[in-house]
Amino acid sequence: MIAATQLRVVLVTPETTLLDEPVKSLQFPLFDGQIGVLPGRTPMVGRLGIGELRMQTEKGEQRYFVDGGFAQIKGSVVTLLTNRAKKVDDIEQAAAEDALAKAMAIKPSTDEGFAEKEQAIERARKQISLKKWQR
């Protein structure tokens, strides 16, 4: 049973449930900015952004890269549905830099193409930044 001083985070991708465990607090990106969540937070539903999911657990801090999706807070459960999630430790710097170079080389001709290029650049830059500032 989760104590009143804890939250339960559930991190789900299309392939699997990556996490389902108690946390003390967490921070994650929404489409329009960062949000921090502590126990007792009012319910909400939001559009998940691209960036870092940071959680404080009994074992210490855990960090993940999340790539868009949706977030729901209901009671003490925080559910994050994301297209992609990866532990920051598992991000490969060279692969992220290669993805950035490929995204920069894209020459879109439609509005959708420009939006996809912008998102690919943001995704690669966030991964590079997370890896660079990894503790």
pTM: 0.82
Q: Please name the residue ranges forming H helices in 16-92.
A: none
Place of tokens 């890896």: 131
Tell me, what's the pLDDT at 2? 52
Mean pLDDT of the chain: 90
Quick: pLDDT tens for 55-111.
Answer: 998 889 999 999 999 999 999 999 999 999 999 888 888 888 898 898 889 898 999
Quick: pLDDT tens for 12-21.
Answer: 999 999 999 9
Identity at 46, one-letter amino acid code: G
Tell me, what's the pLDDT at 131? 79
With a CB cutoff of 8 Å and minimum separation 6, the contacts of 24 are 5, 6, 7, 39, 56, 57, 58
Tell me, what's the pLDDT at 96? 86
pLDDT exceeds cutoff 60 at 1: no
Alpha carbons within 13 A on the beta-carbon side of 98:
5
